[in-house]
Chains A and B, each alone.
Chain A
Amino acid sequence: QQQVKQSPQSLIVQKGGIPIINCAYENTAFDYFPWYQQFPGKGPALLIAIRPDVSEKKEGRFTISFNKSAKQFSLHIMDSQPGDSATYFCAASIRGNNNDMRFGAGTRLTVKP
């Protein structure tokens, strides 16, 4: 049961570019939207997360933009580096109810030197 749709499936950018990954959700009860980064052979690791009371959150080179009315949120990576090459997953859940956390299908990002 997919409740979080993620696009694109894959993305290739040059070093210094700004890749943008988009997600859309269906359940209006979701109120916690994390992004996870996964390197090959490793488990996903929390990168950044946002709650719907703000429209943007920035942590270092990573920014989440959130549009509550459109039920969409996106991840922007500023000044991307080859070390950012990984698979990125968006997710959504109801705060305090992690068993309802739904993951997107993932975006495989390649940053070329």
Chain B
Amino acid sequence: EAGVAQSPRYKIIEKRQSVAFWCNPISGHATLYWYQQILGQGPKLLIQFQNNGVVDDSQLPKDRFSAERLKGVDSTLKIQPAKLEDSAVYLCASSLGNTIYFGEGSWLTVV
């Protein structure tokens, strides 16, 4: 069974630039999550989708972050404009029941 796919794996951008991350969840998983993991911390939920609807985006900084899951499968997370404090790993995950399956993450460095 293929896991959660994410791209790109690594990205370095300058502050105020924009970046987009793509995620393809495990086939059949209706629930998709984007987490932010800052170095030395646990993952923090940014947004959760159920099919193509948003379940929770209360911790998403909506002035600069946006996410969509138009057809209920793939998802993109965009940051515009990026700040230095956005440097982190962005983890996409999908779930069946209580078990959350994470991708390998997209590492963002903002300089």
A41–B42 CB distance below 8 A: no
- B93 on interface, CB distance cutoff 8 Å: yes
Main secondary structure of the interface of B (DSSP, over half): strand
- Summed over the interface, the residue pairs from A and B with CB atoms below 8 Å come to a total of 56
- A99 on interface, CB distance cutoff 8 Å: yes
Residue of A nearest to B48 (CB): A99
Complex: how many Å from CA A91 to CA B35?
14
Complex: how many Å from CA A42 to CA B102?
9
Please, how many residues of chain A have a CB less than 8 angstroms from a CB on the other chain? 24
Residues of B within 8 A of A (CB): 4, 31, 33, 40-45, 48, 55-56, 91, 93, 95, 97-105
Residues of A within 8 A of B (CB): 4, 6, 32, 34, 36, 41-46, 49, 89, 91, 93, 95-96, 98-99, 101, 103-106
